[in-house]
Amino acid sequence: MADGKIVETKIPPIRNGTVIDHISNGQSLNVLKILGVNENNIDSVISIGMHVPSSKCNSWKDVIKVEDRELDPQTVDKIALIAPEATISIIRDYYIAEKFNVRLEDHIVGLAKCSNPNCITNKGEPIDPEFIVEERCPPKLRCVYCDRILTNISDNLL
Amino acid sequence: MDFYDKDLVSIRDLDREHIESLLDLSEEMIPYARGEKVERMLDGKVLGNLFFEPSTRTKLSFESAACRLGCSVIDVSEMSMTSISKGETLADTIRMVDAYCDVIVLRHPHEGAARLAAKFSENPVINAGDGAGSHPTQTLLDLFTMRKVKGSLDGLNVVLVGDLKYGRTVHSLADALTMFGAKLTLVAPETLQMPDDIYHHLKEKGCNPKKTSTLEDVIGQADVLYVTRIQRERFPDPAEYQKVAGTYRIDNTMLREAKSDMIVMHPLPRVNEIAYEVDSTPHAMYFEQAFNGVPVRMAILRAILRGI
Ligand SMILES: [Zn+2]
């Protein structure tokens, strides 16, 4: 990859768009949910690799390639919540124009709602839900208000 | 730590040193709580009791604590009615109440309400129970009672029995006892055991609580038996409730297995978890525990409104 060109055999390279790599095994469908793609709004090619061998640590990963789309920072932050080790490559004309790791902040504001239905943050108060990241891989988030651990992160993303 | 002008939302906000300094101050407050000494150290201050659900004991105990120190009390709970009926947010209600008093005591049915109130209030907020969340002043008075009777919390063998799943008092109590190196035994029917996330939190803190559903097996080792009420409405089947409630009923027969200096505590009100015959034994500590709510809340008010 010294020349910056993507070497990937199973999933075809894309010309322009985004490659989300090193997604935690099994999380690709949840990442798609974050990207907000459904059968009615796709107008470009999306390739998904599930259970792909990872060179990183002898394990498995998922990969997603989305053509003709670059991700906004909030989407990237949400991906970090379910796939904290994911890398994002922006591809322009077959070359990696930019590559970075998603970043899971210590303090998460407004990206997910609390899974405790009786939490004050789910009662129409003028505040954003807030979480402290207690563990990073897999992420374990504690609600700043009710002190509960957020269960099922992907179902509670905002 | 300086408690002056600080909120008291969760026992997790305090470390061992903070708690000990509050317990020491509570000890000093006892003669004032009994009316043997009088000093209006909070003269001119105003406490606002904002209760969104009834809890007469907690409210009265705060009132008594405030009055003993010369702090005036206004009951702003009526605002909770109007705010609910008008669909006002808690945030707005708090902003209003904040203008009327120097400290807000809040009881609310939703978890996290006190943290939210603390965010919107300029003045300090004391959490008097938020849903199934925390109730730090109850925890402090429980710790105070144990320390007072047993001399120290370190290494104390505390058996928590009853509804450990929904009982809010036992969650923060278990948390705090862990901080003091107490040994915990959790006695509950499978369906009412301590929630996993709290159990793991205790383990992470270095406590290795023993879980069981049989009180008879562990009562002999207990220094403190902390009993909580099992609510009938937790059981869809009344017969199932009767079975469980009967299993954990503390009476003199059950106490035959206990150490002679073992104390029985209960946050009250009790329904039938503790037989009346226990009241006259030296084990019964629940009425003293209830009284301790006053000096402990005096210490909290003093620390927050004047500093320690
Ligand atoms: Zn919450």
* B221's tokens: 């080792």
Distance CA B248, CA B227 (A): 9
**What is the enclosing helix (H) or strand (E) of B231?**
none
- Detail the DSSP E strand segments found in chain B: 46-51, 72-75, 103-108, 125-130, 157-161, 183-187, 210-212, 224-227, 263-265
Higher model confidence: residue A37 or residue A16? A16
Position A57 scores a pLDDT of 65
Position A2 scores a pLDDT of 46
Cβ B111–A146 below 8 Å, yes or no?
yes
CB-based contact, B166 to chain A, within 8 Å: no
Higher model confidence: residue A43 or residue B264? B264
* B112's tokens: 């996290």
Split at pLDDT 50, 70, 90, the class of A4 is low
Task: Specify whether the backbone of A110 is left (phi greater than 0), alpha (psi in -120 to 50) or beta.
Answer: left
Residue-wise pLDDT tens digits, A10-19: 678 899 999 9
In chain B, the residue whose alpha carbon lies closest to the alpha carbon of A134 is B201
| Nearest CB partner across the interface for B112, out of A120, A124, A149 | A120
Question: Which regions in chain B score pLDDT beneath 70?
Answer: 1
C-alpha angle B267/B273/B277, rounded to 5°? Answer: 100
Q: How close is the nearest chain A Cα to the Cα of B65, in Å? A: 27
Alpha helices in B160-237 (DSSP H): 168-179, 196-204
Split at pLDDT 50, 70, 90, the class of A36 is confident
The complex's ipTM? 0.89
Position A3 scores a pLDDT of 53
| Nearest CB partner across the interface for B91, out of A116, A125, A148 | A125
Position B1 scores a pLDDT of 60
DSSP tag of A97: E
Residue-wise pLDDT tens digits, A59-103: 899 999 999 998 999 999 999 999 999 999 999 999 999 999 999
Q: How close is the nearest chain A Cα to the Cα of B261, in Å? A: 36
Q: What SS3 class is residue B62?
A: helix
Would you list the DSSP string of B115-152?
HHHHHH-SS-EEEEEETTS--HHHHHHHHHHHHHHHS-
Q: How close is the nearest chain B Cα to the Cα of A125, in Å? A: 6
Position A7 scores a pLDDT of 52
Cβ A148–B134 below 8 Å, yes or no?
no
In chain A, the residue whose alpha carbon lies closest to the alpha carbon of B201 is A149
pTM: 0.89
| Nearest CB partner across the interface for B116, out of A145, A147, A149 | A145
From chain A, which residues contact B within 8 Å (Cβ)?
Answer: 114, 116, 118-121, 123-127, 143-149
In chain B, the residue whose alpha carbon lies closest to the alpha carbon of A118 is B110
Position B236 scores a pLDDT of 79
CB B102 within 8 A of CB B44: no
B/e letters for A22-51, b = 16+ CB within 10 Å, e = fewer, are bbbeebbebbbbbbebeeeeeeeeebbbee
Position B237 scores a pLDDT of 84
CB-based contact, B211 to chain A, within 8 Å: no
The Å distance, Cα B4 to ligand 1 centre, comes to 27
* A60's tokens: 């498995």
Distance CA B302, CA B305 (A): 5
In chain B, the residue whose alpha carbon lies closest to the alpha carbon of A149 is B197
The Å distance, Cα B91 to ligand 1 centre, comes to 16
